[in-house]
Amino acid sequence: MKQRSLTISAAALLAFASGCGPSGNGGQLVGVPNTMMYRSPTPLGMVFVPSGVLKMGASDEDITGKNEALIRTAQISGFYMDATEISNQEYRQFTNWVRDSIAHTLLGDFKDMPDGSQILDTRKAINYKNPDVQDQLASLYIAADQSGWGRKEFDNSKLVYHYEVFNFDEATKNPNQPRTNYIVKHDVSVYPDTSVWMRQFSYSYNEPIARQYNWFRAFDNYPVVGVNWFMANAFCNWRTQLWRSEREKNKQYFEDKFRLPSEQEWEWAARGGRNESPYPWGGPYIVNKKGCYLANFKPQRGNYAADGGLYTTPVNAYFPNDYGLYNMAGNVSEWTGSSYFGQAYDVVADVNPDVHYRIRENDPLWMRRKVIRGGSWRDVAYYLQTGTRDWEYADTAKAYIGFRCIYPEISQAVTNRPIRGRASNR
């Protein structure tokens, strides 16, 4: 019996060796060859925020805030972050893409695929001034006698972005369920709410900025406002698909997705490596040695123009922090991906902490709160502090809230310094 067993084992080894064929590895363990070219992606307009230890929470001067945001230590993995807030011009690229996609659908611009299916062909330019094209796209326009301006114009309420995401968190909790149960579908109206300039400032003449801010070229480099939390997430999804399709076309590795930063990631980036400093530039002052203000906010009990900006300012105004990030204090407050709970700092983890809750349709108002950070052009200096927490309802758009994206960089985030320890035999 023993001899027969040895014979079978030898035959199995011989079959294994002959079945594999010539591998060119000399029988050594070399790993599976990678057909994708890896090159660490650096998205345009982003800067790298390295891994590090964040002493998150209120600064020493913030006595009341210390009751809600206790100072504690957390490890944050590195990531790329937009150097500036998303501008009107950048957001317009998104809304134009949505407009063109809807128009291509109505015009029947589809391309036949080898498997017999059809996909939308967005390569063809659309001449919106062509009368025939306008007739086919009539459902996207407001008639001249109904627009209020005496001319036909595009109905921006038709700009709805549809996307689907896989709820990985819920799927991992129920691994025996079909994955299709965790596909979440979204339909988001993405055009900025220009009425925020009128509705939020009663007894104030803001009609000119309300009519011009989102489209007039003079405001191209100003931060987009009038976008709620859902619109900011839709932008991140669109940006991810845009980036992924280009890299996959060139057979390049794709690491993760664009998203809003967590509350702690935002705070770590805003501090610029200056732990326990009240402001992104250090502190504790909000003016430099020449007496110039270092951010766009509400100084001197309401002298808005004293800092150089009556409303918002260009996204690259003022000096950046030590990570190269502009306007992490002031200009516009910024959406984060985190849900707001008063005692959140008491329960979060020590590594990459976050409190994230997926809003459901029938949730009460207090569960629809999302964290905003950084303060804005209408806020006093207290809200400019890196440790100050604030919130807004996710479905609310304001004239003083914008956003910026991050892109996780896994390869640098895990190890950003040499590892010291026991030597390896390999």
* Distance (Å, whole) CA 188 – CA 310: 31
- Residues with Cβ within 8 Å of 408's Cβ and at least 6 positions away in sequence, in order, are 77, 79, 80, 255, 256
- Buried/exposed code over 87-125 (b: 16+ C-beta within 10 A; e: otherwise): bbebbbebbebbbbbbbbeeeebeeeeeeeeeeeeeeee
Quick one: tokens of 72? 């504690």
Grouping H, G, I as helix, E, B as strand and the rest as coil, residue 338 is strand
DSSP state, 305? G
Fold of the domain built from segment(s) 56-87+208-417: paralog of FGE (formylglycine-generating enzyme) (3.90.1580)
Ordered by start, the domain boundaries in the chain are 56-87+208-417
* Distance (Å, whole) CA 233 – CA 359: 13
Quick one: tokens of 135? 């007739």
* Distance (Å, whole) CA 156 – CA 140: 8
Report pTM. Answer: 0.87
* Residue-level pLDDT at 119: 79
Query: For the CA atoms of the chain, what is the radius of gyration?
Result: 26
* Residue-level pLDDT at 7: 47
Task: Pinpoint the alpha helices (H) of 292-405.
Answer: none
- Buried/exposed code over 126-146 (b: 16+ C-beta within 10 A; e: otherwise): eeeeeeeeeeebeebbbeeee
* Residue-level pLDDT at 420: 41
- Residues with Cβ within 8 Å of 259's Cβ and at least 6 positions away in sequence, in order, are 233, 236, 337, 405, 406
How open is the CA angle 377-380-386, to the nearest 5 degrees?
90
* Residue-level pLDDT at 346: 78
Closest CA to 56 of 43, 70, 40: 70
Average confidence (pLDDT) per 10 residues, the chain, 426 residues: 49 48 72 68 90 79 58 89 98 96 90 78 84 90 87 92 90 87 93 94 91 93 98 97 86 84 96 90 89 93 90 96 97 96 81 84 88 96 92 96 91 47 40
Closest CA to 126 of 162, 88, 154, 151: 154
Closest CA to 280 of 382, 353, 384, 373: 384
| Amino acid type, 339 | S
* Distance (Å, whole) CA 13 – CA 18: 9
